[in-house]
Structure 1
């Protein structure tokens, strides 16, 4: 193996190499890091970020960005909790509609889907830059969450709801099962379907994609709707795990999501990246957070360290792009 081949090998597997090195270092610094209990703890912690990051990957592959996923997560969780506990009451019509658990879950996921679709509509129909459109949605969704909850948590959602976020099935936590199924589905979509090919084509060269006849607006709206739906599912898991819909849920989740995507090797300019790379990025972020907690590092320093890791990942990605 010559130097050039070795360099390409390192670039291709840089996320896995970084992950292994981090695990080796933390195993020496903390006796409890390699315990089975801690491993499942890490997997549960990263499950929501993995789900959100899958949607973020699809968006970034098209050359876009979504800053609203954390707020959409909070609103979807609040909608789910409200429907499950209080139902929907229409006073003027003297009508009350109660919801089963499944109905509430569908309602929460649908709320996220609609908000994501609205992001896509704003970006494609009104030509608003994704950064601006989703930044506006961040504020809108957070405000709607406060209005719906009155600024107070909605608690006491029942054991069936709690099972989604805290239960185990065949020895594996439910959030891990859910995130694994979503990752599998997204990997198939990006690798084996026409939609996946169109996503990469649009991110690689949108002008060429338009000239070749791809329905760019339709694909982008679909991608943002999918990301919204996944944020909604993330909101349901967070609400279930806490047994309450918190008005401030999801704060900062968009940053962890973008970090996972970038660290996983997806190019911020679009057209390059994989779902499995994003999973590796989410693992790196999760293990980093877990290791810093085990080492009793101050939460303030944790933010500083995480910020530098994200910056380093972007610099490496830009350097690799120039090399290619």
Structure 2
């Protein structure tokens, strides 16, 4: 009898621990069940595909923020840097026959050029945050808030430039929008390109985090920066590199977001960092 009672107590304790450790997942499951009861079509293939496509750019952003969080930091500038990438790439990839082009005399550029330009600009923004955190010893919250304001200021000045300032940058090259709005597959089974991009970036970042010296250094810094420094890790350099990688991912995500929506404004990416940090 005592053995059975002890077994029941142990089982009850294990269940309580499991429930406490997975409380968020349990709540989400119940919410999902409630949504499905109210709207059965929520779990349809088309709806799930659309949700995954919309979340794909957030996933790319989250992978950038994730590395920063591992090093005991945060990044409040992600959303505004994404907006900067969106307006830059969109302005350079407007259709040549669009009446309100930001650069009327600009020839059609290869798709990778504006996206690469946006990524480089965002990488520079990331390096500013990384330098402030690693070299100037500025708290990440303050450093990235400053970068957020800087990025938004640059975006607003660029967005408001003549001759057609303060209006959405639209009329994008169809090849550019197809880059984010297209899909692969046949018949009803089609996978949006955005999901493919997100999966590829996930694989790349998994490899960097788990199979490279940078990834090992990142986790060492996150565990104990002082111990990592003593063991020979260049903490400052690694932190700056991690912020630069995050900036490059923001640049890619911002360009894809502009292509997905079909336009860009200085408010593109607003509060996206909250989604990424929560993820």
Same fold? TM cut 0.5: yes
Identify unmatched segments of 5+ residues in structure 1: 90-94, 261-324
Cα distance in 2 for partners of 1:15, 1:184 equals 26
Give secondary structure in 2 for the equivalent of 1:135: helix
Count residues in correspondence.
255
- Aligned counterpart, 2:120: 110
Moved more, 195-204 or 65-74: 195-204
Q: Does 1:119 align with 2:129?
A: yes
Question: CA separation of 1:12/1:188 partners in 2, compared to 1, >3 Å: closer, same or farther?
Answer: farther
| Equivalent residue, structure 2, for 1:77 | 86
SS in 2 for 1:153: coil
Superposition map of 1:39-54 within 5 A: 39-54=48-63
Cα pair distance change 1:181/1:9, threshold 3 Å: farther
Distance 1:13 1:178 in 2: 29
Q: Deviations over 1:24-63 (max 9, x none)?
A: 2221121221111111111012111111111111100000
Change (3 A) 1:96 1:175: closer
1:62 paired residue among 51, 63, 71: 71
CA-based RMSD: 2.4
Say if 1:88 and 1:98, in contact at 8 Å, map to a contact too: no
Q: Give, in angstroms, the shift of residue 99 of structure 1.
A: 3.0
Question: How far has the Cα of 1:160 moved from its partner?
Answer: 0.5
Q: 2: distance between equivalents of 1:164 and 1:247? A: 22
Q: Displacement of 1:250 after TM fit? A: 0.7
Displacement of 1:191 in angstroms is: 2.1
| TM-score normalised over the length of structure 2 | 0.83
The equivalent residue for 1:143 is 153
Unaligned runs of 5+ in 2: 1-6, 95-100, 161-165
Q: Residue 37 of structure 1 aligns with which residue?
A: 46
* Alignment of 1:191 onto 2:201: no
1:131 deviates by 0.7
